[in-house]
């Protein structure tokens, strides 16, 4: 596969290229399992689900009322006899006699011969509902097929109701249930070992040594991974020590599909992750033309994919959501459309100047301006160390590599955080 490289900063790979390369490089996991339907929420479907039954299975009423023959109704003069009842699960046996009506409930089968339903609110009935009268005005606006749900109008037997490679949402599970499926073929969860690296880090719950900081990244990583249905092993904190890192990565690689770490992938003296992965396996990508998140590293140890995220908390989240989650979704067998974030064009409510040659994301929210229109506002700092900006944000504004500045009123792309997680 040849990949057309985008024009970006020398020495850095653009996000689009980096993802293309990674998709081509890292195989889709073939392992699938039959999983009981109720355990399938959020899983990646790995079969096409073909309808075996039409829905509805029979013509039925959309409303409570009276089933009639339209032509009879047009000619009706005076009261109409109600000769039977059709309830959901208890159809009227027989066909509708000429000039008569059948009392019918929502979801009940339309009796043979009937071709419209007049809702009960538009009918006057005697006490025991054996005789009804319908006004000329109601008759005048009753049409053929009114309030009838025809068999197969929702789903026809043979239709593909769910396509392989989609993440299953409640409505998808529901449609599979509607086809009588008790289990589905889905991807086995990826097993992922997670740890944070850094001598300055303390474990939440422990006392904070002078100059130390609590490890927050591990909790962001675990959350993102759980969100896409991964089986996470929390391996805690690792010191900036070559042997410690080598031992931990070496043994985690034997028992996991993926290792994900934070910190230690830059060019400082204590940034040891690269040399460790280099010794144990190979580095397959390093440094992306993105902001935040530039030093992100991808490598492998045997068959285990290694993702080294930078240490800054915003970098962890942004590069995690925009590079790692799409890649892991691909590895889980998701269709390409399901790996892409949702990008919505919106008006910018801010001015912004830049010149990094990298794709950049601003932490953002949509707010209503004085004219009542929604526009995106950006957080007042682009520092990748400020985790509070991600808590404030409801979305990200994507600034393309080639864009030098944004002025208030320009159209920009907004990526809702909910659509990324």
Interacting stretch for ligand AMP, rule CB under 6 A, among 37-45, 77-85, 117-125, 263-271?
263-271
Q: Is residue 198 close enough to count as binding Mg ion by CB under 5 A?
A: yes
Q: How many residues bind ligand AMP (CB under 6 A)?
A: 18
∠39-40-46 over CA atoms, to 5°?
140
Site for ligand AMP in 200-239 (CB under 6 A): 200-201, 213, 215-218
Shortest Å, Cβ 240 to ligand AMP: 8
Q: How far is the CB of 194 from ligand AMP (least distance, A)?
A: 11
Does 319 help bind ligand AMP (rule: CB under 6 A)?
A: no
Task: Characterize the bridge pairing of strands 231-238 and 191-197.
Answer: parallel
189 near ligand AMP, rule: CB under 6 A: no
DSSP secondary-structure letter at 313? H
Considering beta carbons, is residue 163 or 202 the nearer one to Mg ion? 202
The answer to whether the CB of 159 falls within 8 A of the CB of 48 is: no
Q: Which of 310, 320, 333, 395 binds ligand AMP (CB under 6 A)?
A: 310
Nearer to ligand AMP, 148 or 201 (CB): 201
Q: Return the half-sphere exposure (C-beta side, CA atoms, 13 A cut-off) of residue 177.
A: 13
Binding at 320: pick from ligand AMP, Mg ion, none (beta carbon under 5-8 Å per type): none
HEC string of 197-266? ECCCEECECECCCCCCEECCHHHHHHHHHHHCCCEEEEEEEECCCHHHHHHHHHHHHHHCCEEEEECCCC
Give 274 or 329: the residue with its C-beta nearer to ligand AMP. Answer: 274
- Total residues interacting with Mg ion, rule: CB under 5 A: 4
Q: How far apart are the first and last CA of the chain?
A: 30
- Out of 308, 311, 326, 349, the only residue in the binding site for ligand AMP (CB under 6 A) is 311
Tokens of 45: 């479907």
Q: How far is the CB of 360 from ligand AMP (least distance, A)?
A: 18
Neighbours of 159 (CB within 10 A): 14
Of 156, 69, 170, 61, residue with least CA distance to 115: 69
Interacting residue with ligand AMP among 54, 185, 247, 266 (CB under 6 A): 266
| Residue span binding Mg ion (CB under 5 A) among the ranges 118-126, 198-206, 209-217, 367-375 | 198-206
Rounded distance between C-alpha atoms, residue 92 and residue 86, angstroms: 5
Residues of this chain that interact with Mg ion (CB under 5 A) are 198, 263-264, 311
Residues of this chain that interact with ligand AMP (CB under 6 A) are 196, 198, 200-201, 213, 215-218, 262-264, 266, 268, 310-313
């Amino acid at each position: 596969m040849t990949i057309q490289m985008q024009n970006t900063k020398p020495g850095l790979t653009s996000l689009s290229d980096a993802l293309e390369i990674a998709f081509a490089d890292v195989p889709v996991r073939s392992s699938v399992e039959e999983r009981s339907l109720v355990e399938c929420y959020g899983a990646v479907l790995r079969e096409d689900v073909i309808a075996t039954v039409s829905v509805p299975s029979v013509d039925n009423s959309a409303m409570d009322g009276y089933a009639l023959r339209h032509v009879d109704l047009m000619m009706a003069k005076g009261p109409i006899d109600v000769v039977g009842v059709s309830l959901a699960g208890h159809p009227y046996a027989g066909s509708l006699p000429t000039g008569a009506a059948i009392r019918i409930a929502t979801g009940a089968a339309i009796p043979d011969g009937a071709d419209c339903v007049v809702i009960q609110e538009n009918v006057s009935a005697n006490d025991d509902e054996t005789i009804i009268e319908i006004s000329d005005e109601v008759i005048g606006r009753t049409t053929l097929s009114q309030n009838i749900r025809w068999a197969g109008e929702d789903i026809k037997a043979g239709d593909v109701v769910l396509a392989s490679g989609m993440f299953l949402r409640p409505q998808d599970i529901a449609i599979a249930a509607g086809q009588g499926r008790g289990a589905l073929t889905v991807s086995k969860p990826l097993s992922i070992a997670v740890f944070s690296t850094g001598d300055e880090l303390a474990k939440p719950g422990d006392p904070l040594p002078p100059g130390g900081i609590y490890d927050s990244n591990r909790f962001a990583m675990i959350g993102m991974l759980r969100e896409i249905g991964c089986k996470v092993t929390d391996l805690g904190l690792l010191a900036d020590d070559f042997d410690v890192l080598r031992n931990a990565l070496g043994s985690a690689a034997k028992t996991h599909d993926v290792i994900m770490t934070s910190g230690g992938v830059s060019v400082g003296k204590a940034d040891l992750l690269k040399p460790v992965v280099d010794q144990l396996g190979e580095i397959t990508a390093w440094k992306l033309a993105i902001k935040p998140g530039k030093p992100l590293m991808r490598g492998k140890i045997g068959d285990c994919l290694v993702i080294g995220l930078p240490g800054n908390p915003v970098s962890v989240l942004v590069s995690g959501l925009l590079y790692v989650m799409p890649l892991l979704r691909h590895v889980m067998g998701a269709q390409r459309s399901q790996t892409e974030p949702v990008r919505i064009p919106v008006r910018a409510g801010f001015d912004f100047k830049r010149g990094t040659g990298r794709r950049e994301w601003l932490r953002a929210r949509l707010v209503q301006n004085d004219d009542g229109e929604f526009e995106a506002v950006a957080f007042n700092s682009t520092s990748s160390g400020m985790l509070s900006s991600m808590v404030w944000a409801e979305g990200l504004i994507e600034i393309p590599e080639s864009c030098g500045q944004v002025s208030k009123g320009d159209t920009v792309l907004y990526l809702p955080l909910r659509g990324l997680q």
